Amino acid sequence: MLDGIKIEPKEFQNNEIQDIDINNIRPNKQKIITRNPVKWYRNTRAVLQTVKSNFLLIFFPPALILQAYNFNELILFFVNFLAIIPLSKIMTVGIDDLSARLGPAYHAVLHAFAGNFVELVVTCYALMDKHYAIVRSSVLGAILCNILLVLGIVFLAGSFPRKGSKRQSMNAELQTSFFVSTSASTLALAVLALFTPAAFKFAAPEGTGIECDLQSISHAIAIMLLLVYAALLVFQLKTHVSATIDATEVHHQEVQYFLVFDLLLIGLSIAGISVCARYLVTNIEDLADSFQLGNGFVGMVILPLCVVSNFMEHYDAIKEASEDKVDSAVGLILNTSVQIALLVTPVLVIVGWVTSRPLTLDFNNLEIGVLACAVLIVNYLVADGKANWLEGFMLIISYLIIAVAFFYFPNVKELPEVLNCNPWSRNLPPVGEFSH
């Protein structure tokens, strides 16, 4: 096919899924540093030298110190923002080496977790501050940023011809794999789950006290979404491994460090990210007040764009697309979005449940409407296994349209906080009333 790209391996053609022996995937030639725990300093030096963003670690001490002196919130915001970048990249190094131990099937799952970790930490801090509207908006904003803005850029990067590339035409076609279609369908299920509380609120008779009902419905949906995510892991890592790995694009990596060093990298970076994320949320809230930004715009646009670990994952996805690895790029983006819907969102609801922060999935009509339309568009694009640069451009414009709408959207008023709700109580008439 001279005027297009085949990103789908032969095993997946004609809608047939065949087994792939992931153990026979050709490994990349990498320089193994050392697996000797005694020589841990060589690993440390290698990580510091190979990660290009490590020079930004100079912002980590000021991020810790300046907050105590009430510096300008804009300066504090950028200091913490820059400090998180190398920390998230170091965490990715540990995740990469850990996934090399587990095999290629775990690579996408662990990478999606690494990309969503800062998102989870930031929104947890906003939840502790009782900014429920911002938390709900940030969850949807992260999904929309992935499936509209980043996916659109990937389509552009994967379809435009480049010197030295196999692509010869600006009208190149992007054929997606079976797992990409499955991920898009899973997002449609997530829309149904997230839409249910809003529909319940809309359908409830006026004057009915539904605050406790919304909490109970949200808790039940959170538990069921976690069950779906567990089933997806079984699908992705056990029963349909061949559908999740493109053998023409994925290479098994050699383990470079010893296990304790990997865990140390992940643990230290998580600790640093958690501290900087706390300050980042505080300064975003102050900036929103200074510039009079609505909580919907902060959650839908500002917070998702500020989650720099996702930014690093997005950069990798766009880079892969430009190198003719579009299947891997699209799969990573959709896998990250699915994990936000099926893991991050229910975890936030359950954390709020445990900490007496009554977070509900009561999204407003605009939020749930744009999410449903976005997921519908993405499902339509990947259903035929084809996409082109124009569709990528339209996805980007769609995201900008949503951003403009939320820039002018007023603040969302929260429902009154109701604690200690009985999950079994319902707004039903007394026993015997129906007989009259």
Residues 6+ apart with CB under 8 A from 282: 67, 125
17 has a pLDDT exceeding 50: no
The domain covering 31-407 belongs, at the CATH homologous superfamily level, to: NCX, central ion-binding region (1.20.1420.30)
**Mean predicted lDDT score pLDDT of the chain:** 78
**pLDDT band at 26; cut points 50, 70, 90:** very low
Strand partners, 342: none
**pLDDT of 280:** 84
Task: List, for residues 99-132, the tens digit of each pLDDT value.
Answer: 888 877 777 788 777 778 888 888 998 899 888 8
Per-residue pLDDT, averaged over 378-389, amounts to 77
The Cα–Cα gap between 123 and 78 comes to 18
Highest-scoring range by mean pLDDT, 327-336, 357-366, 405-414, 426-435: 357-366
Closest CA to 253 of 29, 89, 33, 46: 29
Task: List, for residues 202-252, the tens digit of each pLDDT value.
Answer: 888 876 778 888 899 999 999 999 999 999 989 888 887 776 665 444 555
354 has a pLDDT exceeding 80: yes
**pLDDT of 4:** 42
State the CB neighbour count (10 A cutoff) for residue 25.
17
428 has a pLDDT exceeding 80: no
Task: Say if CB 174 and CB 386 are below 8 A apart.
Answer: yes
**pLDDT of 373:** 93
Task: List, for residues 134-187, the tens digit of each pLDDT value.
Answer: 899 999 999 999 999 999 998 888 776 666 555 555 544 555 566 777 888 889
